[in-house]
Chain A
Amino acid sequence: MQSWRRKSLWLALSASWLLVLLRVFPLLRLAVPARPWAGAPQGWPRWLDAELLQSFSQPGELPEDDPQLPQAPRGGSCDWGACFDVSKCRGGGLKVFVYPVAGPISDTHRRILASIESSRSRSVSPDEACILLLLSLEAPAGECIPVPQQWNGGRNHLVLSLHPAFCTQTFQLGQAMVAKASPMVDTFRPGFDVALPLLPEAHPLRGGAPGRLGQHSPHPGVPLLALAEERGGWRTAVPDSSACPWDGRCEQDRGPEQTHPGATLPNATFCLIPGHRPDALHFLQALQAGCIPVLLSPRWELPFSEVIDWTKAAIVADERLPFQVVAALQEMPPTRVLALRQQTQFLWDAYFSSVEKVIHTTLEIIQDRIFGASAHPSLLWNSPPGALLALPTFSTSPSDFPFYYLQRGSRPVGRFSALIWVGAPGQPPLKLIQAVAGSQHCAQILVLWSSEKPPPPRWPKTAVPLTVLEGQRKVSDRFFPHRAISTDAILSLDAQSSLTTSEVDFAFVVWQSFPERMVGFLTLSHFWDEARGGWGYTAERANEFSVVLTSAALYHRYYHILFTHYLPKALRALADEAPTCVDILMNFLVAAVTKLPPLKVPYGKQHLEARPPLAPEGLESQPPVQDCINRMAVEFGYMPLVSSRLRLDPVLFKDPVSVLRKKYRSLEKP
């Protein structure tokens, strides 16, 4: 009994101690003010009954959500779905009607009209038009344009004003889209209005002012920052610890701030631009100079912000933290600086360098809205060559274009289509067909019969399918995007061309490495003729070239689309007048898109002797031909051709090793 009592007593005693310790110990933990366990989870509590919490919406509430008819847009607010009637926009091209202006036509007006005419859009009568364009310009004596007849509440109207002076008092804009320079963020209707850049008075109409970026990376001596000044100039500021973008070590202070009052274009890596509207003009200057714009809380909408990804080319920072911004710029890794810098220049060149480009971009944005799902993907807008040159009517998949293989991690299709143009003499090029069909890369042969004579009923048997297409007896027809072309690469040939199978094979292997360029065998070079004060070209062999003849050239089939749908009609007509011009025109086009010269591959001497001269001889006797290069240069607004001094040969070309080791040995025949 006693022992039982004693035992129970001890049990009770120890149990109570246990209780005390268990209870007190957590209290001791709580009482210690410092956070005792590093890394222990802190923050929002894990609720014991978290599992029992109710969902934010009861089942059934989401689907039951009462249906309701759409609300009418409230006063003044408009968006694309509510205020634009797409039904009139069916059919090829954008149908535009431009209101005529009463009285004298100003110079700016004329420029805009000209650029609309040269765009891919069509002019139609106001009843058929998809877009009615109203040019809002500074009227001479502060007068405003009267409300036009077909106004209809502004529906399907685009009010375009390149310069900020804007006249809204006379009538309500209502449902009209407004495209104006640097609109204020507060009044801008995203997805409906279009933000234009604030252009300087003397902006070139066509071709455009070239970008000033001479090199990819900033020059080591260039200051980090330039500040936009009120008077329109730029001030380069050298912060105390001037940054050297290429590694951590930096040169010492370059002295006090330098002022260049006369300089209109900044020479710095970054350009600080205050957020007020007048400073928008600086924005374009920075772009042109390849100076990365750093916008301090801009109150205006960035130009074409609907499609251009400005984070790739500019930095929008908070004006309240200037020092933080400068510190961040100094620490920015060179890779990012390099990417931003190149993007500024690409954007300048693609969308801003001329009035024409600005207008075309505006129309292209509206066209994209109409297209909906088949609009330009963002990649096409934001990487070279830009959306004006990458037409979504060709394809909406970037992998189909010659420009984006790397970004998409894809390759062009490994075969080519030979497109043989048979002109007036009407001789079927049997030898050529055999030579081309012998290539392992040839997928098909298309004969474009453009002769008066009917095509022969029988064609030689070839390893690849041969199709005869009826041409329209126009030279420009050879660059028409025929449906029969099934490969990415086209080998364009004349009936008179003469090529060997190895030449074709090698040229195609080279093209696969450069799918955006033209690869050719015979070349021309252009030059500036001081005596005549114009451009000239020559077929004489020289140390450099800038044109490859399309009578034997490989290129991407997309260029057929551009040739037919992008080039103005006038240029194509010019090419039809003088057939040699067509070579130059095609080269102009490809060079304008790629900004690079074409490529030349070896061409056997034996052909030169066997064939009639390819290039015109006695240039002086054919002034219209010689002149087409100048007329094209005028139409383009600049000279896009770029010269090259190299030729791509097979790796062992004419090397002193056994011919048996060489893959393209027949290229070496004397």
Chain B
Amino acid sequence: MCASVKYNIRGPALIPRMKTKHRIYYVTLFSIVLLGLIATGMFQFWPHSIESSSDWNVEKRSVRDVPVVRLPANSPSPERGDLSCRMHTCFDVYRCGFNPKNKIKVYIYSLKKYVDDAGVPVSNTISREYNELLTAISDSDYYTDDISRACLFVPSIDVLNQNTLRTEETAQALAQLSRWDRGTNHLLFNMLPGGPPDYNTALDVPRDRALLAGGGFSTWTYRQGYDVSIPVYSPLSAEVDLPEKGPGPRRYFLLSSQMAVHPEYREDLEALQARHGESVLVLDKCTNLSEGVLWVRKRCREHQVYDYPQVLQEGTFCVVLRGARLGQAVLSDVLRAGCVPVVIADSYILPFSEVLDWKRASVVVPEEKIPDVYGILQSIPQRQIEEMQRQARWFWEAYFQSIKAIAMATLQIINDRIYPYAALSYEEWNDPPTVKWSSVSNPLFLPLIPPQSQGFTAIVLTYDRVESLFRVITEVSKVPSLSKLLVVWNNQNKNPPEDSVWPKIRVPLKVVRTAENKLSNRFFPYDEIETEAVLAIDDDIIMLTSDELQFGYEVWREFPDRLVGYPGRLHLWDHEMNKWKYESEWTNEVSMVLTGAAFYHKYFNYLYTYKMPGDIKNWVDAHMNCEDIAMNFLVANVTGKAVIKVTPRKKFKCPECTAIDGLSLDQTHMVERSECINKFASVFGTMPLKVVEHRADPVLYKDDFPEKLKSFPNIGSL
């Protein structure tokens, strides 16, 4: 285009000379046209010759133009599937190798058209669904275009439906794939296995060691831990728009919508309908539909016509009965309608059963129990039914609704086997998002009272108040269960005092110097911490008695997953300002403890340093405030539990109190602290703090009992 513009500009200048150089221009014109023709011709023929190297190029091409491969009649065929295959025997894990992302690499063979000696095609080149499936894999993180780096190979030979292909020849086509190697690490997707008359439950194409993602496995053909059971995709998923319908009782308790049901089973179902009347609906094929009506989308009962799949939303339970094949596409429609599937197909391996808990979304009934099905279902409490309905819909949304969802779930299952230490958990697979949001999984869930002998490590954060620090050290060292004392020296400009000046105490004392004066240094997971219990204590907390500290440690042992501290604080909702407010008055409730003196599990140090959400950690360091509130938020959020305040209130030297120089300073402090709560609540996206009305005291606290006989007499004295 540029060139033509250029010529146009230059054109007028040439015009006067045109006449004389008439001939030359004709020659030029001719040569240019010739060049153009040659180039066009080359373009026509080039693509085929460079086919092999241009696989990576996403280019708009036609399926009809793919290269044709002729399979000689005597070309080798793989052996039949090996039923004893397991990942550690038939899968070459070396190809997957160490991978920092813990993701397998999947290669897709380029599309070819296979014909036999006579030129008759072996199968349809590719179906719409298989094309979608390969596109989904190719768009995912699993895909690699480098055949030598791949761990899993997906042939582009479409075997989704066994009816559309010639088994022996397809097997030959598989065998000539460049990395076939007895099918090792090859993954085949099949949804409709078997064929008349005996309908095998797995793909009949001999495939040797290849993994099979199949939609209709029975217990006899499924190689547990090797094959993957997948759903039979229902094309209606894409065709019909079916808005979600909430759980709850529906018009029909039990609904059967399948058209091809064995006469014996249909008799059983109709007997149920006769016995239970309106609450059971058994539908059949429509016989007298007018022209142009899509019969796949209609179901009938006598003369009543129902829309399918919409009618499924009217059922609480929907029958999914085996046909000739175990896997039925109706399962997908039923799940989508939020109807609980009643799976009646003996020995059927439900889709993705390796990871999905079908007990939560379906009822499996043996075929010979069809007459009892109504009674079985009625024994399920309503609350459980609603949970199952919700779960069914969620399974469809996550794993059934598109070919892509099916492909990704299949690859994830294989990925989980190869990188077991990075596998998705049961909850990640099975819990619907709403449950994932509201549930808390306490990292210290095991009810365990750590032995008292372990003791605790006291961590004193100090800047330069040496005198006060030494008093704290002396006081804390009197606590029987103290096992180590760690001083975090947060002053970079001044060296800690000489060794000889430090108080002599009975436990090891270590001084850690920090690189920067940050509040978060108090919560760093130092290697020196050997005990699980950590006592964080400020260098000016000298009023706690050794009885109080020892008692605090014993309380922590009973509640090792909580913050156990002395001064308690509260957060309140300020209705006028419409935000959270910090409260340090004498209240009847507690939701936080100050970490100026608190016991907690050392794991929370790791969480604070490495897993604090958002920018909270930096924010605290920048503002030099609220590290204790941040810790309270963190622990409450991860455990879902409240703090434990120990022993009565004391006059504390605490941030609020040291700053008392007049009311105004105190108020600024309170405003700042309130700001912190609001900031953290917005970062966490919720208010994790829990309010309680109790505190822990020794059993005999303030009881009429001789002080001498109490274990912790010196508590609460000022």
Contact = CB atoms under 8 A, between A and B. Distances in A.
Nearest to B377: A373
A575 to B, nearest CB: 25
A397 B384 contact: yes
A67 B261 contact: yes
B698 A53 contact: no
A600 B421 contact: no
A407 B440 contact: yes
A594 interface: yes
B56 A42 contact: yes
Interface string A51-71: 001111101111111111111
A342 B561 CA distance: 13
Contacts of A251: 527
B63 A651 contact: no
* Chain A interface bracket (under 10, 10 to 19, 20 to 34, 35 or more): 35 or more
B668 interface: no
Given A17-B7, A40-B58, A53 B128 contact: yes
A21 interface: yes
A400 B259 CA distance: 40
B129 to A, nearest CB: 5
A281 B63 CA distance: 57
A66 B421 contact: no
A407 B86 CA distance: 35
Given A53-B128, A596-B449, A81 B347 contact: yes
A220 B446 contact: no
Interface stretch (B206-214, B240-248, B601-609, B624-632): B601-609
B439 A406 contact: yes
Interface string B270-303: 0000000000000001000000001110000000
Nearest to B98: A324
A16 B36 contact: yes
Nearest to A338: B443
Contacts of A594: 447
A577 interface: no
Given A23-B43, A320-B93, A662-B588, A375 B58 contact: no
Given A596-B449, A646-B697, A221 B530 contact: yes
B363 to A, nearest CB: 5
A544 B247 CA distance: 50
A477 to B, nearest CB: 27
Contacts of A528: none
Contacts of B54: 30
Contact of A214 (B450, B558, B601): B450
Contacts of B529: 220, 246
Nearest to B28: A13
Contacts of B601: 216-217
Nearest to B50: A30
Contact of A45 (B32, B59, B449): B59
Interface centre among A409, A646, A653 (most CB of B within 10 A): A646
A118 B363 CA distance: 31
A16 B33 contact: yes
Contacts, number: 451
B23 interface: no
A595 B60 contact: no
Nearest to A509: B693
B322 to A, nearest CB: 7
B130 interface: yes
Given A23-B36, A649-B694, A655-B586, A312 B425 contact: yes
B445 A190 contact: no
A244 B129 contact: no
B235 A55 contact: yes
A189 interface: yes
A510 interface: yes
Contact of A14 (B7, B260, B451): B7
A647 B640 CA distance: 22
B127 A56 contact: yes
A329 B421 contact: yes
Contacts of B445: 339, 342, 346, 383-384
Interface stretch (A4-12, A166-174, A230-238): A4-12
Nearest to B83: A186
Contacts of B15: 6
A510 B39 contact: no
A543 B87 CA distance: 59
A15 B554 CA distance: 92
Interface string B603-646: 10010011100000000000000000000000000011110010
Range for the number of chain B residues in contact with chain A: 35 or more
Given A81-B347, A647-B697, A655-B648, A318 B532 contact: no
Given A275-B88, A651-B693, A246 B7 contact: no
A208 B330 CA distance: 49
Interface in A288-329: 297, 309, 311-312, 315-321, 323-325, 327-329
Contacts of B158: 56
Interface stretch (B67-75, B134-142, B468-476, B504-512): B134-142
B347 A42 contact: no
Interface string A319-349: 1110111011100101110110011011000
A53 B446 contact: no
B336 to A, nearest CB: 15
B697 A338 contact: no
A59 B128 CA distance: 13
Contact of B192 (A21, A56, A70, A342): A56
Given A23-B40, A327-B98, A67 B323 contact: yes
B602 A217 contact: yes
Nearest to B340: A373
A68 B138 CA distance: 38
Interface in B13-72: 15, 18, 25, 28-29, 32-33, 35-36, 39-40, 42-43, 46, 50, 54, 56-64
B32 A47 contact: no
B555 interface: yes
Contacts of B62: 47-49
Given A23-B36, A315-B421, A541 B705 contact: yes
Q: Which of B143, B296, B445 is packed against the most chain A CB atoms within 10 Å?
A: B445
Contact of B39 (A23, A325, A338, A513): A23
B232 A62 contact: yes
B4 A18 contact: yes
B698 A45 contact: no
B134 A44 contact: yes
A408 interface: yes
Contacts of B84: 186
A545 B426 contact: no
Interface string A635-670: 000000010111111111111010001111000000
Contact of B346 (A26, A81, A377, A642): A81
Contacts of A334: 603, 606
B293 to A, nearest CB: 13
A48 B63 CA distance: 8
A382 interface: yes
A19 interface: yes
B124 A54 contact: yes
A532 interface: no
A651 B323 contact: no
Nearest to B57: A42
Interface string A401-412: 000001111000
Contacts of B649: 652, 655
24 contacts: A18-B1, A26-B43, A40-B58, A49-B64, A53-B131, A55-B127, A56-B160, A57-B329, A60-B295, A68-B324, A73-B347, A77-B219, A185-B86, A297-B87, A328-B422, A336-B421, A346-B445, A408-B435, A513-B694, A541-B703, A543-B709, A596-B449, A601-B694, A647-B698
Given A46-B60, A63-B259, A342-B446, 18 more contacts: A44-B131, A53-B126, A56-B161, A68-B199, A71-B198, A81-B346, A185-B225, A216-B603, A247-B606, A311-B426, A324-B98, A332-B421, A383-B445, A506-B694, A513-B641, A642-B449, A647-B697, A651-B645
Shortest Cβ-Cβ A-B pairs, 6 listed: A409-B438, A43-B138, A44-B138, A297-B88, A342-B446, A14-B4
